[in-house]
Amino acid sequence: MSSHIASTTDATDLVDAGDRDGAGPTLPELLAFARQAASDAELLARLDTLPDERTWIPLAGPAGSEAWLIGWPPGAETGWHDHGGSRGVFVTAAGRLHESSIAMPLPTSGWRTLELLPDLDRERSLPAGEGRGFGPHHVHQVVNPSPDEHAISVHVYYPPLPLIRRYSRRGRVLALETVELPGQWSA
């Protein structure tokens, strides 16, 4: 069964629930932590950058959040995914990352396939020092587009990731493929 998405509301315009009701750290607080970690040369030096694999180090995030320092070899990518209802941020510490996202919140359950309307795709390039926040219904993929340069980034989620849903994408059709629980995914 296919559902159709008819709205073109940009997900970046959504108010973060943590900003409204004090439930956990706000997106600006998460972003401040990620920026500080991304500028910590000693922390970045702890990351092993392997030639063909993404690598990661878990970090203690602020106020009970989950944080990761991630190394991206050339061409590494996440595939389409969401964050199980958690809101989050990421900041590029070195190199450049590219994010493709769907510019509206998607329902988190009750569907296996969605046909997206045109003009919902958003593309964003994030060079070193740049970052972004997103709400709990954000679906995206992140890639290191460089053919020869590693990238490093810091990612922070609140609440800690309860699951990750992975999707396949063919044109305008987004299909739920798997649901991974903590310990089953590779940052």
pLDDT by residue, tens only, the chain of 187 residues: 333 222 222 233 333 444 444 579 999 999 999 999 999 999 999 998 777 899 999 999 999 999 999 999 999 999 999 999 999 999 999 999 999 999 887 776 788 998 998 889 999 999 999 999 999 989 999 999 999 999 999 999 999 999 999 999 999 999 999 999 988 865 5
pTM of the model: 0.85
What architecture (CATH level 2) is domain 2-180? Answer: Sandwich (2.60)
Q: Which of 56, 77, 81 has the alpha carbon at shortest distance from 66?
A: 56
* Cβ pair 160, 65 in contact under 8 A: yes
Write out the two tokens for 66.
């989950």
Give the sign of the dihedral formed by CA 111, CA 112, CA 118, CA 122: positive
Q: Tell me which amino acid residue 95 is.
A: G
For residue 2, what pLDDT is reported? 32
Locate the domains of the chain by residue range. 2-180
H or E, element range at 21: helix 17-21
Predicted pLDDT of residue 64: 95
CA-to-CA distance for 104 and 11, rounded, in angstroms? 5
